[in-house]
C-alpha cells in the first residue's frame, strides 16, 4: 500500500471536548463505551481518507475497523509509516462531501449507539438531501450502526413532514434490499398508499424492527411493538427532558472540529463506487 507524504493539508479529526464534558456531567458513561473512545487512546494509529484534491481527513484506524466493513478491509498493516492513505473514487451520492462530513461527525460522536427509542436531532448544518446522501454512503461503507443512527433521525422527520416524500421514495427504490432504511421506507410508502391502515402503520414498531428478520423479511408480529403511548409519547417525554437539562445534542459542535496538519500526496487504495 502506498503511503501519504507531501504538502497537501489534512484535517486531523478528534473527539469533541465539549461533548465529553456533557457526557461526564450527566453520567452518560455508556456513550463512552459504545463510541470506542477508549480504544483510540490504546490504538492511536491513523489513516488518511482522501475524497478529492482538497478534502482529506486523518482518522483513527480502529474506528474505521469497528464501524465500516468496507474501510476495515482496506486498512494497512500495523506500523506503516508515514501513515497510509485510502482514496475514495466515487461519484454522487457516495462521493458527496456533506455526506462524508456527516459520517465523520458521527464517527467522533460519543453517542453513536443511542439508548432504545432515543431520537437524535439532525445538526443545524445538515440539509435533507445531504442526510439522504449519507444514507447511501452508510450502505456503501457497510456502516450498519451509522445507518441505524440516520434512520432514527429520518424516522421522526418523515412522521413530522420535514423529510420530503420524494426522498423517502428515492430511499425505498435505491437503498440496498434488507437495509433497515430500505425496509422502513417501503413499509411507510405501503402504509401511505393504503390510506394509513392501522395494521400497516410502520410507527407501531421500534427502529430495531427494521434491522431484524421480522422487519426485513416480513412485517409481522414480534417483540418490537411500541407501548400504548407509542412514538408520540416517547417524543413528548424526550422534549420534556430537553426543557429540564442542557441536553447533549444541544451543545456539541455542528461539525467535527479539526486542526491543520500536513501529509499526503495522493497515493493509496482506490475504493470503487458500486452505487448509482
Q: List, for residues 29-61, the tens digit of each pLDDT value.
A: 888 988 999 999 999 999 999 998 889 999 999
> What is the per-residue pLDDT for 178?
83
- The single residue listed with the C-alpha cell 408520540 is 232
- If you write DSSP's letter for every residue of 2-53 in order, what string do you get? -B--SS-EEEEE---HHHHHHHHHTT-HHHHHHHTHHHHHH---EEEEE-SS
> What is the per-residue pLDDT for 3?
56
Q: What is the chain's length?
A: 276
Name the DSSP letter for residue 78.
T
pLDDT digits (tens, 9 = 90+) for 236-257: 777 776 665 554 444 443 344 4
What phi, psi does 104 have (nearest 5°)? -70, -30
Average pLDDT for the chain: 82
Residue 210 has pLDDT above 70, yes or no: yes
Dihedral sign for Cα atoms in the order 252, 253, 254, 259: negative
Task: From residue 83, give the alpha-carbon distance in Å to each of 43, 78, 149, 270.
Answer: 14, 10, 30, 16
Distance, in Å, from the CA atom of 167 to the CA atom of 131, rounded to the nearest integer, reads: 10
Distance, in Å, from the CA atom of 38 to the CA atom of 50, rounded to the nearest integer, reads: 25
Taking 3-state DSSP, the helix, strand and coil percentages for the chain, each rounded to the nearest 5, stand at 50, 10, 40
**Residue 78's pLDDT band (cuts 50, 70, 90):** low
Residue 80 has pLDDT above 80, yes or no: no
**Residue 226's pLDDT band (cuts 50, 70, 90):** confident
Residue 137 has pLDDT above 90, yes or no: yes
Quote the pTM value.
0.83
Task: Collapse the DSSP code of 190 into the 3-class scheme (helix H, G, I; strand E, B; otherwise coil) and give the result.
Answer: helix
Residue 262 has pLDDT above 80, yes or no: no
Q: What is the mean pLDDT of residues 146-167?
A: 95
**Residue 1's pLDDT band (cuts 50, 70, 90):** very low
Q: What is the mean pLDDT of residues 64-89?
A: 81
Determine how many CB atoms are found less than 10 A away from the CB of residue 116.
9
> What is the per-residue pLDDT for 171?
97
Distance, in Å, from the CA atom of 70 to the CA atom of 93, rounded to the nearest integer, reads: 17
Report percent pLDDT > 90 for the chain.
46
Cell of residue 56, nine digits = 482529506
Closest CA to 173 of 162, 161, 188, 160: 188
Cell of residue 257, nine digits = 472540529
Q: Collect all residues with Cβ–Cβ distance below 8 Å to 227 and sequence separation of at least 6.
A: 233
pLDDT digits (tens, 9 = 90+) for 159-178: 999 999 999 999 999 999 98
Residue 208 has pLDDT above 80, yes or no: yes
Residue 260 has pLDDT above 70, yes or no: no
Residue 19 has pLDDT above 50, yes or no: yes
Residue 183 has pLDDT above 90, yes or no: yes
> What is the per-residue pLDDT for 254?
38
Residue 271 has pLDDT above 50, yes or no: no
Residue 190 has pLDDT above 60, yes or no: yes
Amino acid at each position: 500500500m502506498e503511503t501519504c507524504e507531501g504538502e497537501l493539508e489534512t484535517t486531523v479529526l478528534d473527539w469533541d471536548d465539549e461533548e465529553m464534558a456533557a457526557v461526564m456531567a450527566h453520567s452518560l458513561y455508556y456513550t463512552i463505551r459504545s463510541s470506542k473512545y477508549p480504544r483510540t487512546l490504546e490504538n492511536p494509529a491513523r489513516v488518511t481518507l482522501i475524497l478529492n484534491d482538497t478534502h482529506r481527513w486523518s482518522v483513527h484506524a480502529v474506528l474505521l475497523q469497528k464501524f465500516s466493513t468496507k474501510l476495515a478491509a482496506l486498512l494497512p498493516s500495523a506500523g506503516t509509516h508515514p501513515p497510509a492513505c485510502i482514496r475514495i473514487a466515487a461519484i454522487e451520492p457516495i462521493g458527496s462531501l456533506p455526506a462524508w462530513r456527516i459520517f465523520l461527525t458521527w464517527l467522533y460522536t460519543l453517542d453513536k449507539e443511542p439508548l432504545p427509542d432515543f431520537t437524535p436531532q439532525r445538526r443545524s448544518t445538515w440539509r435533507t438531501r445531504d442526510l439522504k446522501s449519507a444514507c447511501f454512503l452508510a450502505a456503501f461503507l457497510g456502516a450498519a450502526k451509522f445507518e441505524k443512527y440516520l434512520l432514527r433521525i429520518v424516522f421522526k422527520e418523515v412522521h413530522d413532514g420535514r423529510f420530503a416524500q420524494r426522498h423517502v421514495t428515492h430511499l425505498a427504490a435505491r437503498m440496498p434490499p434488507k437495509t433497515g432504511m430500505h425496509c422502513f421506507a417501503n413499509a411507510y410508502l405501503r402504509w401511505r398508499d393504503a390510506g394509513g391502515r392501522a395494521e400497516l402503520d410502520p410507527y407501531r414498531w421500534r427502529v430495531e424492527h427494521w434491522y431484524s428478520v421480522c422487519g426485513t423479511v416480513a412485517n409481522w408480529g414480534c417483540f418490537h411493538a411500541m407501548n400504548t403511548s407509542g412514538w408520540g409519547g416517547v417524543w413528548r417525554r424526550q422534549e420534556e427532558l430537553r426543557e429540564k437539562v442542557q441536553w447533549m445534542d444541544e451543545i456539541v459542535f455542528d461539525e467535527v472540529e479539526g486542526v491543520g496538519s500536513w501529509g499526503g500526496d495522493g497515493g493509496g487504495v482506490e475504493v470503487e463506487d458500486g452505487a448509482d
